[in-house]
Structure 1
């Protein structure tokens, strides 16, 4: 693929995301596989797609004064082309401004007509000549922070109420940075040091993780193409997500339920911690997602995993009461902790979605609770940060289920580095993305009397 065509591919992906609410990460991966791009083109394409989505509202603020008839009056593809081009001009040092403008005009000629290409050229040249409007001139602090960090205003308002303006600003700024590629070492097969050496021998640049004892960070190279990955020595997983199985910490010949398990990162981690003993029953709603769990288990050579396509809310129809020693509910959620990896999440969600999602989370918890043995441990986790899906769900569950209580020993099973983010003996922890550069994550541990 010629380099100049990468921008056309990026435009095509961005338009599909806008029109079809497609997920950026899935669409990008599919496109890369189909197009057979060179590594440098993959890097540029990824940067253009994620960057343009991440900075959308800031870019629109910059564009607005130069589009006389208003952004909403432009054809969709023209607006997206302008966003894509301005992203390169403002944020990418290695792309010369003249190249970005030239490419935009050529694409506009190909997709539209002479009038549109002239308008695109005129808008971008005017911005180049006159400079960008100042964000500092926005009077309202919530609106200013929303535009500056390119997040929806309702989201900023909610987070400022929950975490304060200073923490919200830090978190939103972190959301604009590319995430680290981290992997969990399968310690049933090798130590962290051994796997790091294997990957270094295959030409990757790696270092120890920042948070989880099971983690390594890949700073250069492609992990899925390595023998170490193919032979089941590592699993791609964020460091905060690795803490969930540690919070559950199952031991011995026990029975574990992972009630919302796909794509299988936490299920396989639990199975690894059991060191070949016990059995992990992994459920997910969809057959194709259950296959993903089975594929991971096979690659990692883990035989103590049993998968089933089943709605967790119907688990009691299939399993006997009080038949599990440990239960994990890694609940479906808004995903606002993973905005760095899935930037379109912040534009796809609406404020009233939270109530519906929290209701599903509460139903799942209530449905699996009878399956836990007395004295057993239940861990509830989400990759989101809003209290309505986290603390409030746990508090409602505890109010409705007096036989359960918060597990005050949670922090003993987690890294010392996060002690200050555990409320003393609360049994719950919330990691915001800027604490350790991980995904935002919530974990609560509960015990049944």
Structure 2
């Protein structure tokens, strides 16, 4: 294909990445920078035209799987507006409020519950910041700690199923989404656990307050009230795993269920609230899907010039084993995640690294989870850490002020990532137990 091209793979990659990183340095939004980086090559190469960008972008949108993205976002917004989040806060308080740093513990547990519903870390960071940062301020928590724990716990939304990143990964790299949903449960819970242990250590060191232990009756009441809300992730994940419906259909059913709960069961959502939820979903979904479109055009050009093959030729000659390949993949995603949104990173970098993972004998689901967990860190690492930016904006502090506490909280999470790489059964255990057909 590249024989009749004017540009070599090296020159094309220099133009693509040079313009892209140059635009990023000028603070151009990532999705726009990806699209603009493609334009010069489309104009230089006689076989291509700017219409190719439009065509490839449309091909990316023309995907049944990606319809799940706006529906999962709408589910999360309906639950916020409909008072469902408040019930989950009450349940979280009954379960962990008596632990040291009670309010921050509730923050982490609510993130685990919410992650099972929304699939979007940015939506989680925005709603959790509004709920917790001011409340923690009133109880004497340091601003840097409050912002860090809110942002860091929000990343659970991309690891605990249903996750938008899993849907994009499954759609782009042809991996079973049901298998990914099952694979994310154990690492997600482990990361939640190490976050709670980190809060415990901070609370002991800094004397953060604790709530009185809930009585058995209070805990039972909170649980009964929350049962309908807790059924949402069961419906989404169970339906996908047992083959009752696809990822997109499960997202639609989740919207209907959340809407029914908010309107008829809890009766806290009016038409104004519904309009606000739809508007917010439209904004978030537009950003996410615009990223998918321009990243796909960028990825198509990489494939056209066979740039991944050129980039990986040297790496493949290193003859790395499965574990060293896993750490190499994690390192690449950790670095890329600092500069690039997770969705374009999956479309571009995931496609490049897939042959390397296959050559090392990594299961596609294991490779996916190493990539997704690594990219989750990018949501709180500068300069692109979107969740950290959102939490800082809500708290009214600079990102630099929250950076030290954020880095401390990421260390035990890196331990979980290392465990996922060293011991694939952490992610493959549930898929192999419940649905072995999802594995290679």
- Give the TM-score, by structure 1 length: 0.21
Q: Could you say which structure has the higher helix fraction?
A: 2
- Give the TM-score, by structure 2 length: 0.21
Structure ID, larger Rg:
1
Q: Could you say which structure has the higher strand fraction?
A: 1
